[in-house]
Amino acid sequence: MLRLRMCEDALAREYHPADEMRCPVHFCVGQEAVPAALSLLLRADDYLYSHHRSHGYYLAKGAPMNALFAELYGKSTGANAGLAGSQDISYPSRRFFSGAVLAGAAAISAGSALAATLQKTNHVVVAGFGEAATDEGVFWETINYAALAKLPLVLVCENNKYSVFSPQLKRTSSDNISERVATFGIESSTIFGNDAPLVHRTLSAAITRARNGAGPTFVEAYTYRWSGHYGPASDDPMGYREPGELEAWKRNCPIALLEHEIRSKGMLDDAEKAALAREFEAEIQACFQFAKGSPFPVAPNWASLNFASATPEADRLLTDVDVNEFNAHQELVQAKGY
């Protein structure tokens, strides 16, 4: 959690006025507990999908911090050669994928979990997303199918109350997401998402269930983003937060809560915390150096940026398919009268 917090704080400090990062960034300051718990629980062969607030999940899957920084700077050494940016970053070799379509993480994760079932591998699939993903129809289709097919899937909803500037109760008549999910036949719970040990226990149980073939679990973790919706600047002047709300959640900082607990048990002292902070600070500075010193990507031609053309299937469709034949087949499948 501390590594992620320091990483996000450092990126936020560098974002303006330097303006060298080439993409919008959604910081996850205040929301460290879920990704940190996942970082301890997921195996290398497990898949993790996330939404636009992606950095915590990226690091949770063990993807390298320097490739994250270089990606934000639009450099060729970035996780996606500088072409994806923050909210669509992926690191395929660590089986991590993010995406800007809110419920996309959930929907794609169900397909990925189905693949795990069909291929009889023992890996599990986790999707992390915000509560606004549950405003989308495909989210409910996903949980319906996940329950039916008993997919090895864990869906984690970080409920931070807001979709950009809109509170949940201005978007839905009730804020009982996990109760609604339970009616689909999925194990479902709501927890205080800034209690790191509770988050860890809950996600650990969910991942174990998935791995043991007991089916999907939905976890709604109440948390709060300290930063604006995107970028480093506060968007409080928009007036969408209730007075005192941010301060109350800051008093419930997930890092401070855990720190208090482990200090009181003699598991952390000042020197140990300072050593951790020094280690993370050195890593972060090395990442900035790496990112800033890396070259921009070079595209030899536009076609080389069409990733679909790198797949044999797409090539075949583009070159072999006879359009006339394709059109002729439409008659066979299209019901008359439509």
Ligand X SMILES: Cc1ncc(C[n+]2csc(CCOP(=O)(O)OP(=O)(O)O)c2C)c(N)n1
By CB under 6 A, tell whether 94 contacts ligand X. Answer: no
Tokens of 160: 């931070």
What track of x and - describes contact with ligand X for positions 208 through 237 (by CB under 6 A)? ---------------------x--------
What track of x and - describes contact with ligand X for positions 150 through 179 (by CB under 6 A)? ----------x-xxx---------------
Q: How far, in Å, are 34, 151, 209, 218, 219 from residue 187 at the CA level?
A: 18, 12, 10, 6, 8
Taking the C-alpha atoms of residue 33 and residue 200, their distance in angstroms, rounded to an integer, is 8
Strand-pair partners of 162: 167
The residue among 108, 87, 157 whose CA lies nearest residue 129 is 157
Q: Which residue has the tokens 């201005």?
A: 170
Q: C-beta of 234: minimal distance to ligand X in Å?
A: 15
Contact (CB, 8 A) for 104 and 53: no
**H-type alpha helices, 242-322:** 245-251, 254-264, 270-293, 312-320
The residue among 56, 132, 133, 124 whose CA lies nearest residue 89 is 56
Among 30, 35, 85, 130, binds Mg ion (CB under 5 A): 130
331's CB contacts (< 8 A; 6+ apart) are none
Q: Which residue has the tokens 């934000």?
A: 72
Q: C-beta of 271: minimal distance to ligand X in Å?
A: 35
Nearer to Mg ion, 142 or 168 (CB): 168
By CB under 6 A, tell whether 132 contacts ligand X. Answer: yes
**Near Mg ion by CB under 5 A, which window of 24-32, 42-50, 131-139, 267-275?**
131-139
Q: C-beta of 3: minimal distance to Mg ion in Å?
A: 23
Residue 3, number of CB atoms within 10 A of its CB:
19
CB-based burial of residue 117 (10 Å sphere; 0-12 exposed, 13-18 middle, 19+ buried)?
A: middle
Nearer to ligand X, 89 or 287 (CB): 89
**Near Mg ion by CB under 5 A, which window of 3-11, 93-101, 124-132, 288-296?**
124-132
Nearer to Mg ion, 58 or 162 (CB): 162
Taking the C-alpha atoms of residue 233 and residue 58, their distance in angstroms, rounded to an integer, is 22
By CB under 5 A, tell whether 160 contacts Mg ion. Answer: yes
Tokens of 44: 């290398």
Q: C-beta of 89: minimal distance to ligand X in Å?
A: 15
Tokens of 179: 């109760």
Q: If you compute the radius of gyration of the chain from its CA atoms, what whole number of angstroms results?
A: 22
By CB under 6 A, tell whether 39 contacts ligand X. Answer: no
Residue 152, number of CB atoms within 10 A of its CB:
28
By CB under 5 A, tell whether 77 contacts Mg ion. Answer: no
By CB under 6 A, tell whether 23 contacts ligand X. Answer: no
Q: Which does 164 bind (CB under 5 to 8 A by kind): Mg ion, ligand X, none?
A: ligand X
Q: Which does 218 bind (CB under 5 to 8 A by kind): ligand X, Mg ion, none?
A: none
Q: Which does 100 bind (CB under 5 to 8 A by kind): ligand X, Mg ion, none?
A: ligand X
What track of x and - describes contact with ligand X for positions 40 through 59 (by CB under 6 A)? -----------xxx------
- Interface ranges with Mg ion (CB under 5 A): 130-131, 160, 162
- Interface ranges with ligand X (CB under 6 A): 51-53, 100-102, 129-133, 136, 160, 162-164, 229
